[in-house]
């Protein structure tokens, strides 16, 4: 089993959207422009933060940032997110789902910065449930394939849990199964199983047993 982090293990999406708007509002006060930026952000789920920031500045704000400037903005964003997510809990049913499938090795692949994911995993006290954890920048398809090789299993033996269209595309490109959790609206057009949380997924699995 492989899990995305934001929106899957924790329901952080709207907090991150709000903080992204605040972060970028220092560069433009135009509401239409900010809405365009947020639309790009919402459709960039699963893509490394630095990549999305560069895209926003180039395509919307008509500015080119150095790698250092992008890194500084990303760090500022992380600090605000940590402050807002200080008391956040795992998504409903997540810990129970891990317990039910305790015999299966579990991994995390997230487009969020590696330092952010590491920090929040420790805050949630769930590090011991995972064999590996990797945050961005990364290519999700390649990382899924790497785990397949690490575990010495076939693609059909792996499921990736994500909440965004890009997660589904990465999973299907790697040939593994995909389940949408707390799914973003951009997953509506994708053919995959979707559940609002792990509690509902547990109920579905229990009902499907012979």
Is domain 13-84 in CATH 1.10.150, yes or no?
A: yes
**Higher-scoring residue by pLDDT: 36, 43:** 36
- At the topology level of CATH, where does 2-11+89-208 sit? Rossmann fold (3.40.50)
Residue 210 has pLDDT above 90, yes or no: no
What confidence category does residue 100 fall into, taking pLDDT thresholds of 50, 70 and 90? Answer: very high
Residue 15 has pLDDT above 90, yes or no: no
Burial group, residue 62, by CB count within 10 angstroms (0-12, 13-18, 19+): exposed
Is 109 within 8 Å of 4 (Cβ atoms)? yes
Task: Look up residue 55 and give its two tokens.
Answer: 């895209």
Distance CA 140, CA 93 (A): 25
Residue 47 has pLDDT above 80, yes or no: no
Secondary structure letter of residue 60 according to DSSP: T
Is pTM beyond 0.95? Reply is no
Question: Which residue ranges make up each domain of the chain?
Answer: 2-11+89-208, 13-84
The residue-averaged pLDDT of 2-23 equals 90
Residue 81 has pLDDT above 90, yes or no: no
**Higher-scoring residue by pLDDT: 160, 7:** 160
């Amino acid at each position: 089993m492989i899990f995305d982090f934001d929106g899957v293990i924790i329901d952080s999406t709207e907090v991150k959207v709000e903080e992204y708007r605040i972060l970028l509002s220092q560069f433009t006060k135009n509401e239409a422009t900010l809405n365009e930026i947020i639309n790009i952000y919402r459709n960039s789920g699963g893509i490394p933060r630095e990549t999305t920031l560069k895209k926003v500045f180039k395509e919307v704000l008509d500015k080119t940032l150095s790698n250092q400037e992008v890194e500084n903005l990303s760090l500022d964003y992380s600090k605000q997110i940590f402050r807002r997510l200080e008391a956040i809990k795992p998504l409903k049913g997540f810990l129970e789902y891990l317990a039910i499938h305790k015999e299966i090795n579990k991994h995390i692949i997230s487009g969020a910065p590696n330092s952010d994911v590491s920090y929040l995993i420790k805050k949630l006290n769930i590090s011991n449930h995972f064999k590996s954890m990797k945050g961005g920048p990364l290519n999700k398809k390649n990382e899924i394939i790497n785990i397949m090789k690490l575990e010495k299993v076939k693609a059909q033996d792996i499921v990736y849990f994500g909440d965004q269209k890009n997660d589904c595309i990465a999973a299907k490109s790697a040939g593994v199964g995909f389940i949408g959790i707390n799914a973003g609206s951009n997953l509506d057009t994708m053919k995959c199983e979707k559940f609002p949380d792990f509690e509902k997924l547990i109920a579905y699995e229990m009902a499907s047993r012979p």
